[in-house]
Chains A and B, each alone.
Chain A
Amino acid sequence: MREADFELIDRFLRGDGTAFDELVRKRQREVYNLAYRMTRNAEDARDVSQEAFLQVYKNLDRFDRRSSFSTWLYRIVVNRCLNHLNRGSRSLHRVVDEAPEPVDPSVGSLGQLEEKERQDALARAIETLPPQQRASLTLRVHHQMAHREIAEILGVTEATAKVHYFHAVKALRQRLAHLREGA
């Protein structure tokens, strides 16, 4: 993956514009997902993703390759998200152009309601997390990153990154205590 990224970057820097297109197509989903989990809003996630790729486009020649491309890319995305959150983002949830959620026929309507309630409670709880904790949690749980990489992305020490993560988990547990039995 790392070498494949570098190859695309080399092609782009040699003037092959299609290499950037490939890079975007390859990474757009994970970037959007990270942005969505950080902002909890589809429009914000789209804006942040596009801004991040725009920043990548403008600064790719400055990428020193001391870290992996994904670490560099995630750092850009997370910083964009943090700026976005500090500016005040849109309200929670699915505002734009999303495919309808598939209905699982094996789950009864009561089960669906409970599941929906759990999801909403989790979303609300995650929204209350400070942005750095939210980033640590997302990068750890959904992107399976090591605390060392998360630290690099957040620009903090590894110990601090761990603390952010553990605080996030503890805070969620506390806020979702009422769901414990059902979870």
Chain B
Amino acid sequence: MRCEEAETRLLELVDEELPSERRVEALSHLQTCTSCATEFSAYQNLLALVQADAVPEPSPRFWKEFLPSLKHQIEQEAFDSKQESTGWLAGLRSWFVFSRPFIAGVAVAAVSILIVIRLPGFLPVGPDRHDTPPATEQSASREGGSGSVAMSPNTDDVKRRSGEPYVLAGEIVDDPSALAAAIQRLPWVNEIADRIETAWVQHPESDPAEWIASLSEEEHQILLDRLRNFRWSQS
């Protein structure tokens, strides 16, 4: 083996990675070549120095606290990820917490659809609309700005639910926009909106009629009462 070749093999020799045949050749060369032998020795010394490079021993307290500290981090991570998950749900929910006008719009849209499709047993618009009270029963005109708008042509809500039409200010509600305008101004709308929102979040593909149907009898009664006392002037 010549010096040039030996030089390239020295590190492998020190590293004990040289195949046995090559190793014999290299060692044999080192016995006859002082320069390569010195080089080989230098690498050996260097690796011995690296090997002796000790890691400073941490104090006993360091090791005593190592595992508890790690476990604390694990617990903290678990807590954070739980919070994050709750936060995500809260974020999702807050995404659906719309402004009142928007919720009112949703409610109105739902009611409007119900009116249009004439769901049986709910917000019915009966074929006998001529039986409804005359327009003179209006307590105030919409344009008046301060009159009341009563959706209470007949006082029996149960009856209304089961077949009779709603009347707004003495007129049959066949114009969804009139009802929409009224609902948008109701101060309680967030209550119903919460229900609608919940139903929507859970079943976004469901029929809007189901969202409205989620209101209880009592809530439905409150809705009617509020509408009865509604005035156009209120915000």
Give A contacts to B, CB under 8 Å. Answer: 21, 24-25, 28, 32-33, 36-37, 42, 45-46, 49-50, 53-54, 57-58, 94, 96-99, 101, 118-119, 122-123, 126, 137, 140-142, 147, 162, 165-166, 169-170, 172-173, 176, 179-180, 183
Q: Contacting B46 at CB < 8 Å: which of A46, A50, A58, A183?
A: A183
Residues of A within 8 A of B50 (CB): 122, 126, 137, 141, 172
Interface residue SS majority, chain A: helix
> In the complex, what residues of B have CB within 8 A of residue A99's CB?
56-60
6 residue pairs bridging A and B, Cβ less than 8 Å apart = A32-B55, A141-B51, A165-B15, A166-B11, A183-B42, A183-B46
B67 near A25: Cβ-Cβ < 8 Å: yes
| A-contacting 9-mer, from B26-34, B68-76, B165-173 | B68-76
Extra 7 A-B pairs, beta carbons < 8 Å, given A53-B70, A99-B59, A183-B46: A25-B67, A32-B58, A94-B56, A98-B58, A119-B53, A126-B50, A173-B46
The complex places the Cα of A60 from the Cα of B48 at a distance, in Å, of 36
Closest to B62 in A: A97
Q: A54: nearest residue on chain B (CB-CB)?
A: B73
Q: How far is the CA of A28 from the CA of B57 in the complex (A)?
A: 13
Is chain B's interface secondary structure helix, strand, loop, or mixed overall?
helix
Q: Is the CB of B77 within 8 A of A169?
A: no
Q: Which residues of A contact B17 (CB under 8 A)?
A: 147, 162
What is the CA–CA distance of A99 and B54 in the complex, to the nearest angstrom?
A: 13
Is the pair A173, B43 in contact by a Cβ cutoff of 8 Å? yes
- Please provide the 5 A-B residue pairs with the shortest distance between their CB atoms, ordered closest to farther: A183-B45, A36-B55, A33-B55, A98-B56, A99-B59
B70 x A50 contact (CB < 8 A): yes
A180 (CB) vs chain B CBs: closest residue: B42
Distance in angstroms between the alpha carbons of A173 and B59 in the assembled complex = 33
A28, B53: Cα distance in complex, Å = 19
Q: Which residues 123-139 of B sit at the A interface, judged by CB distance below 8 A?
A: none
CA distance A101 to B54 in the complex (A): 11
Residues of B contacting A37 with CB < 8 Å? 53, 55
Which residues in B have their C-beta under 8 angstroms from that of A28?
Answer: 63, 66-67
Residues on the A chain within 8 Å of B45, using CB: 180, 183
In the complex, A22→B55 CA distance in Å? 23
Knowing A97-B62, A98-B58, A99-B58 are in contact, say whether A126-B70 is a contact too (CB < 8 A): no
Beta-carbon contact of B51 and A142 below 8 Å? yes
How close is B151's CB to chain A, nearest CB, in angstroms? 58
A169 — nearest CB in chain B belongs to which residue?
B11
A176 smallest CB distance to B (angstroms): 7
Whether the pair B53, A126 counts as a contact (CB closer than 8 A) is: yes
Q: A25-B67, A54-B77 are in contact. Are A42 and B58 (CB under 8 A)?
A: yes
Give the docked Cα–Cα distance between A94 and B69 (Å). Answer: 20
Closest partner residue, chain A, to B74 (CB atom): A57
Given A25-B67, A147-B17, A50:B58 Cβ within 8 A: no
B47 at the interface (CB under 8 A from A): yes
In the bound complex, what is the Cα–Cα distance between A124 and B71 (angstroms)? 34
**How far in angstroms is the closest Cβ of chain A from B54?**
8
Contacts of A97 in B (CB 8 A): 58-59, 61-62
B73 contacts across to A, CB distance below 8 A: 50, 54
CA distance in complex: A47, B48 (Å): 29
**Closest chain B residue, CB of each to CB of A31:** B66
Question: How far in angstroms is the closest Cβ of chain B from A69?
Answer: 17
Within 8 A of A (CB), among B93-139: none
| Chain A positions within 8 Å of B69 at CB level | 50
Give bound CA distance, A165 to B15, whole Å.
10
A176 touches B46 (CB 8 A): yes
